[in-house]
């Protein structure tokens, strides 16, 4: 197994270039020319609304986008995995990239104890004995903050709360020290107090283990509080990317701005909510030019003909817009 | 003036009552001594985590769940004691909008027929053409093209389906709408559209809402008053600004601290909430998670008391 790049360096654990996912007949492009990277010890948030292609991106990265046309490069720890045969890909899943999902209850096997499921993963990838795997599973359950790891080991999914199940999923995901964790809406199904605990846990693991995290989410609050960088997706494309602080302080893309304004804020007590006019277009019927143009107050003729290219806004950020909100100096 | 909806010391327990009363009740109550009113045209927000009983409370307003003890009064009439026939005229006066607009619509019939069904059930005197006109007007009212009435639910997006759900609820000309997590399944930009629609409808039609949600920022914006539910009890209730600006109960404060910041540079979050709840004690239901607990809290369940007019809290420390 390759050693992880040390935390805090600029080494990328994941480098994705020009990833495109389309249906077999190429009629619908679900993910379009996506380029991003995740460094060790960093959380990159992929932010977008339903149907923007963010979950499809995560599946494509895991090489689980079956029956679809996928192109582009996916470099994991310096090795291109985009074209690996399934036999070579299988041991990488779980060991080098792990994934957690939105609904932890349904991601666990209901008829086996959660400890057995973690042990199985460890035994499969690390070849440990039954007893050693059990020890390691119990240690992991403790590491993810479950109060009584020995008792939890023998528990079944239905005996645990949603938050506890998500902790179990995290324990399973980190059991083989993956370099990259893909978290697909891991807190959407949970209560706010539990959401905070789970996000705090992921944040701690990121720092402690130097793991890269790709956080797929629609929740701007989660992004603002926990992510280091963010990529904003709209209708299959990343339209803006940058450091969280820079992006939240001065969003460049009108869509990012609109999303931020729609988000209810505890401090704001006005009656009406800011809403972006119109609706997200269907992927099978995208407007020509910039996909956001029909909803955008800044759009002109150019926007309805050509999709804007990447404009760098600072060292780490770009925007794809002909009329960004604050033009970089 | 009579409140439009009044919960009067409502308790609900599930499960069979024990055959041996001296062994105590068979199940812990889902709702425990809830008293709450909703005035005409008022929005009362109910916040709480999963399992706090907030959905049960909403369903009780529609008489989908009957209380084990206590009464539910609609416009001064005790709907819990009514027969099905006596309740019928009240049924159209309260409607519900559900969390998942997809599952709330029949996939096999057109959305126009879905709305029309509600009209047939409550206003049987309408002719077919009158019904058609009403359906068109209702779809228009919620911001949909009346010409799309013939399409089935799968042709609509999540936000549009929720609009259809609202049109269906409005068909019976209700005075109160129970909105149970009605926007939590929607994307943030869609959510804003639906909340604006609900706000406009309240102003146009004088609707009252029982607005059940876990998103505190949304609840603050839409509600006049807010009640915080914890394990089936109202631990704090008050005007929205009083409750959000000067929360009195440790649980309310914990909830407010858990709300994700909307900007990375805003105030850093407070230390994490205590771990998963453990077995409850005889006293305060929040005891095991409370940072400010005292000895008395273990043994004595704090009664609700009014701190300032309109702001109630059930806590020994507050």
| pLDDT tens digits for range A24-50 | 998 899 999 999 999 999 999 999 988
A267: Cβ contacts below 8 Å, ≥ 6 apart: none
Question: Which segments of chain A have a pLDDT < 50?
Answer: 1-3, 5-8, 328-329
Query: Which pLDDT score is estimated for B134?
Result: 94
* Cα of B5 to nearest chain A Cα, Å: 23
| pLDDT tens digits for range B169-201 | 999 999 999 999 888 888 888 889 999 999 999
B9: left (phi over 0), alpha (psi -120 to 50) or beta: left
Q: What CATH number belongs to A12-86+179-319?
A: 3.40.50.300
Measured distance CA(A39)–CA(B97) in Å, rounded: 44
pLDDT at B275 over 60: no
Measured distance CA(A294)–CA(A303) in Å, rounded: 9
A92: Cβ contacts below 8 Å, ≥ 6 apart: A76, A81, A84
- State the complex-level ipTM: 0.74
Residues of B whose CB is below 8 A from A266: 216-217, 220, 244, 256, 259, 262
User: With a CB-CB cutoff of 8 Å, which residues 219-248 of chain A face chain B?
Assistant: 219-222, 224-225, 244-245, 248
**Residue A250 burial by Cβ neighbours in a 10 Å radius (0-12, 13-18, 19+):** middle
Considering only alpha carbons, which residue of chain B is nearest residue A275?
A: B192
A59 touching chain B per CB within 8 A: no
Q: What is the mean pLDDT of residues B31-42?
A: 94
CATH fold label, B5-93+174-313: Rossmann fold (3.40.50)
Mutate to test the interface with A, among B51, B245, B263 (most CBs of A within 10 A): B263
Measured distance CA(A26)–CA(A297) in Å, rounded: 31
Element (H, E) at B47: strand B43-47
Query: Which pLDDT score is estimated for A66?
Result: 87
Measured distance CA(B269)–CA(A222) in Å, rounded: 12
Helix (H, G, I), strand (E, B) or coil at A295: helix
**Which of A49, A269, A272 comes nearest B187 by C-beta?**
A49
Q: Dihedral, CA atoms, A276, A278, A279, A282, nearest 10 degrees?
A: -140
Q: Give the domain ranges of chain A.
A: 12-86+179-319, 104-177
A236: left (phi over 0), alpha (psi -120 to 50) or beta: left
Q: What is the mean pLDDT of residues B11-15?
A: 84
**Which of B221, B256, B276 comes nearest A147 by C-beta?**
B276
3-state helix, strand, coil in chain A (%, to 5): 35, 20, 45
| pLDDT tens digits for range B141-166 | 999 999 999 999 988 888 899 999 99
Residues A47/A233, Cβ–Cβ less than 8 Å:
yes
Check CB contact under 8 Å for A272 and B196.
yes
**Which of B159, B217, B240 comes nearest A264 by C-beta?**
B217
**Which of A192, A263, A271 comes nearest B258 by C-beta?**
A192
Long-range contact pairs involving B111-117 (C-beta distance under 8 Å, separation at least 24): B111/B139, B111/B148, B111/B149, B111/B151, B111/B152, B111/B153, B111/B156, B111/B164, B112/B139, B112/B149, B112/B150, B114/B153, B114/B164, B114/B168, B115/B139, B115/B149, B115/B164, B115/B167, B115/B168, B115/B171
* Cα–Cα distances in angstroms (integers) from residue A52 to residues A185, A291, A301, B202, in the given order: 14, 11, 24, 32
Q: Give the domain ranges of chain B.
A: 5-93+174-313, 107-173
Long-range contact pairs involving A302-310 (C-beta distance under 8 Å, separation at least 24): A307/A237
Q: How many residues does chain B have?
A: 318
Measured distance CA(A8)–CA(A288) in Å, rounded: 42
Confidence class of residue B266 from pLDDT cuts 50, 70 and 90?
low
DSSP assignment letter at B155: G
Check CB contact under 8 Å for B259 and A262.
no
Share of chain B above pLDDT 90, in %: 60
Residues of A whose CB is below 8 A from B193: 275
Residues of B whose CB is below 8 A from A276: 189, 192
Q: How many residues does chain A have?
A: 329
| pLDDT tens digits for range A156-203 | 999 888 889 999 999 999 999 999 999 999 988 788 888 888 999 999
- Of B83, B86, B63, which is closest to residue B10 (Cα–Cα)? B63
User: With a CB-CB cutoff of 8 Å, which residues 263-322 of chain A face chain B?
Assistant: 263-266, 268-276, 279-280
Helix (H, G, I), strand (E, B) or coil at A218: coil
Check CB contact under 8 Å for B276 and A274.
no
* Cα of A290 to nearest chain B Cα, Å: 19
Considering only alpha carbons, which residue of chain B is nearest residue A265?
A: B217
Considering only alpha carbons, which residue of chain A is nearest residue B267?
A: A225
B127: Cβ contacts below 8 Å, ≥ 6 apart: none
């Amino acid at each position: 197994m390759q050693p992880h790049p040390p935390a805090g360096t600029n080494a990328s654990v994941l480098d994705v270039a020009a990833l495109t996912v389309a249906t077999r007949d190429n009629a619908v492009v679900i993910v379009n020319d996506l380029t991003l990277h995740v460094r060790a010890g960093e959380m990159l948030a992929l932010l977008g609304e339903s149907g923007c292609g963010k979950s499809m991106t995560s599946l494509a990265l895991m090489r689980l986008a079956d029956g679809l046309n996928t192109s582009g490069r996916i470099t994991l720890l310096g090795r291109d995995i985009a074209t690996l045969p399934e036999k070579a890909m299988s041991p990488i899943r779980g060991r080098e990239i792990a994934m957690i999902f939105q609904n932890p209850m349904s991601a666990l096997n209901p008829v086996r104890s959660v400890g057995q499921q973690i042990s199985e993963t460890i035994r499969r990838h690390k070849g440990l004995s039954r007893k050693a795997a059990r020890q390691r599973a119990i240690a992991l359950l403790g590491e993810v903050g479950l109060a009584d790891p020995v008792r939890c080991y023998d528990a079944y999914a239905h005996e645990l709360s949603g938050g506890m199940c998500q902790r179990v999923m995290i324990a399973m995901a980190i059991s083989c020290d993956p370099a990259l964790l893909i978290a697909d809406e891991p807190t959407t199904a949970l209560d706010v107090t539990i959401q905070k605990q789970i996000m705090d846990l992921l944040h701690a693991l990121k720092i402690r283990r130097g793991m890269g995290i790709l956080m797929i989410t629609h929740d701007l609050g989660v992004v603002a509080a926990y992510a280091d960088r963010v990529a904003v997706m709209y209708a299959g494309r990343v339209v803006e990317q940058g450091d969280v602080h820079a992006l939240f302080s001065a969003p460049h893309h009108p869509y990012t701005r609109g999303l931020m304004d729609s988000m209810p804020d505890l401090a704001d007590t006005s009656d009406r909510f800011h809403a972006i006019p119109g609706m997200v277009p269907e992927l099978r019927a995208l407007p020509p030019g910039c996909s956001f143009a029909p909803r955008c107050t800044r759009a002109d003729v150019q926007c309805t003909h050509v999709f804007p290219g990447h404009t760098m806004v600072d060292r780490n950020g770009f925007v794809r817009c002909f009329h960004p909100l604050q033009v970089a100096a | 003036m009579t409140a439009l909806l009044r919960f009067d010391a409502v308790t609900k327990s599930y499960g069979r009552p024990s055959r041996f009363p001296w062994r105590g009740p068979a199940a812990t109550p889902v709702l425990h001594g809830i008293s709450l009113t909703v005035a005409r045209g008022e929005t009362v927000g109910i916040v709480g985590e999963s399992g706090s009983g907030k959905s049960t409370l909403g369903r009780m307003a529609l008489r989908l769940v009957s209380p084990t003890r206590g009464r539910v009064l609609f416009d001064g009439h005790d709907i819990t004691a009514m027969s099905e026939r006596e309740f019928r005229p009240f049924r159209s006066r309260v409607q519900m909008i559900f969390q998942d607009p997809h599952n709330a619509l029949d996939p096999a019939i057109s959305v126009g027929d879905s709305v029309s069904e509600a009209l047939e059930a409550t206003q049987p005197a309408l002719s077919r053409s009158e019904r058609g006109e009403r359906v068109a007007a209702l779809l228009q009212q919620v911001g949909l093209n009346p010409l799309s009435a013939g399409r089935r639910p799968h042709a609509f997006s999540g936000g549009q389906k929720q609009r259809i759900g609202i049109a269906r609820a409005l068909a019976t000309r209700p005075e109160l709408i129970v909105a149970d997590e009605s926007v939590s399944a929607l994307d943030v930009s869609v959510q804003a559209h639906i909340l604006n629609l609900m706000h406009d409808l309240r102003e146009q039609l004088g609707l009252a809402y029982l607005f059940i949600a876990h998103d505190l920022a949304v609840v603050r914006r839409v509600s006049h008053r807010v009640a915080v539910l914890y394990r089936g009890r109202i631990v704090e209730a008050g005007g929205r600004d009083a409750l959000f600006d000067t929360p009195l109960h440790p649980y309310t404060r914990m909830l407010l601290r858990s709300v994700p910041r909307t900007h990375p540079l805003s105030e850093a979050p407070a230390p994490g909430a205590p771990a998963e709840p453990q077995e409850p004690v005889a006293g305060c239901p929040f005891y095991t998670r409370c940072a400010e607990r005292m000895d008395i809290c273990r043994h004595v369940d704090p009664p609700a008391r009014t701190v300032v007019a309109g702001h109630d809290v059930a806590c020994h420390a507050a």
